[in-house]
């Protein structure tokens, strides 16, 4: 019996070596999860190259066609030219249609392919489906109109007076009670939800506080909250969390199907939690977390209940990380957030200005701003570009930054940018962030940040 097993193992090894085309060139073949280098396929070799443990390795042919999940075939061996690379894989063309290179693997963060968090991920999937996803009452901690204030926002299922208990003693013995507003918002799945907003004031820098939320008349666990140096502070900047954006990506678990919206939200909820934990660990003492917009992926054009629930699942995921209760956020409304009023009801934004009071849905008509220490942060909609023009007229030096040339930017923005000598335009890849203007604008105007604007408020 032992001889037969040894012979079987030897046969398997010889077969594996024979299947490895890279042996011909003096290299081993890659492990299954190694991503092919997209510029390494040519006529002189028999496949793609990858890198593993600091050395080249050959990508083996897969025994499945991932492109089928997107409605296409995989390329035949005659196809040598790469026409496109996206998060799902590497694409060529054959007989006038797209085809996927069978050696390719997905490039996006499907949690199923990470072995080091496999147990944590499997536990999370169960908790998300049974406990987390439909919790729409998560707490949002938002920066106040200046650094002495802190804004809290959340949904509740009762009309109880919303309160935040805030103090310096861990046992809450010195806590002051801050009450806020409560108003009916909507009904989902037969449950009435109310919007609650509370502002806490008189915060001091370099201090340690403790607070409790009173949700539906019940006190929650105590949360520690720290403030830091008023003159030397750091912040975390996030671009497009877009939870749910993994929808329709090719699945790693089932390689010939794509993720459904619920699967995508769950996947991105886990990844967002990992991102927040690692970011705060890296920054160590960040004073604020900035998000440039698109917290959610579901746009809710038709405002159907199914879509509204998906978007609320996405907000639930965005506010899920426990560490987000310990750091104030400042988020901008993105186009994916803008077609419902969920954004402005989850977040208690300071200095909110809307030219159309019936809809935040039209993000072009929305501005919010906050002053944090010596910096003013503004979310600026396209049709509110005159606000930028006022700053320019006051002599503020402005650097505009975009990934497109000036003549490709929205006309309303271009007109202003060209009208004033103190507005200079750079492409995003021209190191504009290393410059020191009074204002740095991300055109077409969704966000800008100012360091010397206190006297203009």
Q: What are phi and psi of 256, to 5 degrees?
A: -120, 25
pLDDT at 420: 55
Q: 363's torsion region: left (phi>0), alpha (psi -120 to 50) or beta?
A: alpha
Place of tokens 């901690």: 141
Question: How many angstroms separate the CA atoms of 121 and 286, rounded?
Answer: 27
pLDDT digits (tens, 9 = 90+) for 205-253: 999 999 999 999 999 999 999 998 877 778 888 878 999 999 999 998 8
pLDDT band at 392, cuts 50/70/90? low
Place of tokens 């740095």: 440
Q: What are phi and psi of 442, to 5 degrees?
A: -100, 100
Tell me which of 24-28, 252-256, 296-300 is least confident. Answer: 252-256
Question: 394-408 burial, b if ≥16 CB within 10 A, otherwise e?
Answer: eebbbbbbbeeeeee
With a cut of 50, say whether residue 177 has pLDDT above it. yes
Question: How many angstroms separate the CA atoms of 175 and 166, rounded?
Answer: 5
Place of tokens 């030897």: 10
* Choice between 63 and 373, residue whose per-residue pLDDT is larger: 63
With a cut of 90, say whether residue 395 has pLDDT above it. no
pLDDT at 433: 38
Tell me which of 38-42, 106-110, 135-139, 331-335 is least confident. Answer: 38-42
Question: 118-127 and 261-283 are packed helices; what angle lies between their axes, rounded to 10 degrees?
Answer: 120
Q: How would you write 188-246 as a 3-class SS string?
A: ECCEEEEEEEEEECCCCCCCEEEEEEEECCEECCCEEEECCCCCCCEEEEECCCCECCC
What's the pTM value of the predicted model, to 2 decimals? 0.77
The count of residues in the chain is 457
Please give the share of the chain, as a percent, with pLDDT higher than 70. 71
Please give the share of the chain, as a percent, with pLDDT higher than 90. 45
**Of the segments 77-81, 290-294, 295-299, which one has the largest average pLDDT value?**
295-299
With a cut of 70, say whether residue 453 has pLDDT above it. no
CA angle 417, 421, 424 (to 5 degrees): 55
pLDDT digits (tens, 9 = 90+) for 314-331: 999 999 999 999 999 988
pLDDT band at 428, cuts 50/70/90? very low
Instruction: Find, among 339, 338, 321, 324, the residue nearest to 290 by Cα.
Output: 324
* Choice between 266 and 52, residue whose per-residue pLDDT is larger: 266
pLDDT at 45: 62
325: which 2 tokens? 């209760």
Question: How many angstroms separate the CA atoms of 422 and 23, rounded?
Answer: 61
For the residues 402-417, what does the mean pLDDT come to?
A: 49
Q: What are phi and psi of 141, to 5 degrees?
A: -110, 115
pLDDT at 349: 86
pLDDT at 376: 53
For the residues 393-408, what does the mean pLDDT come to?
A: 48
pLDDT band at 44, cuts 50/70/90? low
**Of the segments 9-13, 424-428, 444-448, which one has the largest average pLDDT value?**
424-428
pLDDT at 199: 97
The average confidence (pLDDT) of the chain is: 78
With a cut of 60, say whether residue 274 has pLDDT above it. yes
Distances (CA, A) of 368 to 250, 320, 377, 389: 37, 24, 8, 16
Distances (CA, A) of 311 to 171, 270, 300: 37, 16, 8
pLDDT at 421: 55
247: which 2 tokens? 């929808």
Residue ranges of alpha helices (H) inside 197-247 are none
Q: What are phi and psi of 317, to 5 degrees?
A: -70, -40
pLDDT at 243: 95
Strand ranges (E), 335-397? 352-354, 366-372, 375-380
pLDDT at 43: 52
Question: 333-367 burial, b if ≥16 CB within 10 A, otherwise e?
Answer: bbebbbbbbbbbbbbbbbeeebeeeeebbbbbbbb
For the residues 278-296, what does the mean pLDDT come to?
A: 88
Q: Are 160 and 195 in contact (CB under 8 A)?
A: no
* Choice between 47 and 433, residue whose per-residue pLDDT is larger: 47
For the residues 324-339, what does the mean pLDDT come to?
A: 87
For the residues 374-397, what does the mean pLDDT come to?
A: 53
**Of the segments 193-202, 292-301, 390-399, which one has the largest average pLDDT value?**
193-202
First and final CA of the chain: distance in angstroms?
85
pLDDT at 418: 57
381: which 2 tokens? 């909609």
pLDDT at 249: 94
The radius of gyration of the chain's CA atoms, rounded to the nearest angstrom, is 26
With a cut of 70, say whether residue 353 has pLDDT above it. no
Beta pairing, strands 366-372 & 97-100: unpaired
Question: How many angstroms separate the CA atoms of 340 and 188, rounded?
Answer: 14
Question: How many angstroms separate the CA atoms of 15 and 389, rounded?
Answer: 70
Q: What are phi and psi of 126, to 5 degrees?
A: -65, -45
């Amino acid at each position: 019996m032992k001889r037969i097993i040894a012979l079987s193992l030897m046969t398997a090894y010889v077969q594996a070596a024979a299947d490895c085309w890279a042996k011909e060139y003096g290299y081993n073949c890659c492990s299954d999860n190694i991503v092919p280098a997209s510029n390494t396929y040519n006529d002189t070799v028999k496949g793609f190259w990858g890198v593993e443990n600091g050395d080249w390795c050959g990508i083996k042919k897969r025994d499945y066609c991932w492109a089928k999940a997107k409605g296409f075939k995989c390329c035949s061996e005659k196809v040598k030219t790469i026409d496109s690379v996206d998060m799902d894989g590497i694409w060529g063309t054959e007989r006038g249609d797209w085809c996927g290179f069978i050696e390719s693997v997905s490039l996006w963060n499907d949690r199923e392919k990470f072995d080091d968090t496999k147990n944590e991920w499997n536990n999370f999937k169960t908790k998300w489906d049974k406990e987390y996803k439909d919790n729409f009452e998560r707490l949002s901690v938002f920066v106040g109109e200046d650094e002495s204030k802190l804004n809290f926002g959340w949904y509740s299922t009762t009309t109880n007076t919303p309160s935040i208990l805030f103090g310096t003693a861990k046992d809450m013995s010195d806590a002051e009670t801050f009450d806020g507003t409560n108003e009916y918002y909507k009904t989902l799945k037969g449950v009435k939800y109310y919007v609650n907003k509370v502002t806490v004031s008189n915060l001091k820098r370099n201090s340690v506080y403790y607070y409790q939320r009173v949700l539906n008349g019940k006190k929650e666990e105590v949360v520690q909250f720290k403030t830091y140096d008023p003159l030397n502070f750091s912040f975390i900047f996030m671009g497009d969390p877009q939870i749910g954006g993994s929808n329709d990506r090719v699945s790693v678990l089932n390689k010939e199907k794509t993720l459904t919206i619920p699967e995508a939200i769950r996947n991105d909820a886990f990844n967002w939690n990992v991102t927040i934990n690692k970011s705060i660990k890296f920054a160590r003492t960040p004073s604020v977390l900035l998000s440039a917009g698109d917290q959610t992926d579901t746009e809710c054009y038709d405002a159907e209940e199914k879509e509204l629930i998906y978007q609320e699942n996405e907000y639930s995921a965005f506010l899920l990380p426990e560490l987000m209760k310990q750091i104030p956020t400042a988020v901008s409304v993105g186009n994916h957030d803008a077609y419902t009023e969920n954004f402005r009801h989850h977040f208690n934004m300071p200095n909110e200005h809307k030219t159309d009071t019936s809809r935040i849905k039209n993000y072009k008509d929305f501005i919010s701003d906050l002053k944090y220490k010596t910096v003013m942060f503004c979310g600026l909609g396209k049709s509110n570009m005159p606000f930028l023009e006022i700053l320019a007229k006051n002599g503020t030096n402005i650097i505009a930054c975009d990934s497109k040339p000036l003549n490709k930017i929205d006309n309303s923005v271009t007109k202003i940018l060209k009208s004033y000598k103190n507005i200079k335009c750079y492409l995003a890849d021209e190191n504009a962030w290393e410059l020191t203007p009074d204002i740095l604008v991300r055109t077409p105007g969704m966000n800008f940040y100012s360091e010397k604007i206190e006297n203009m408020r």
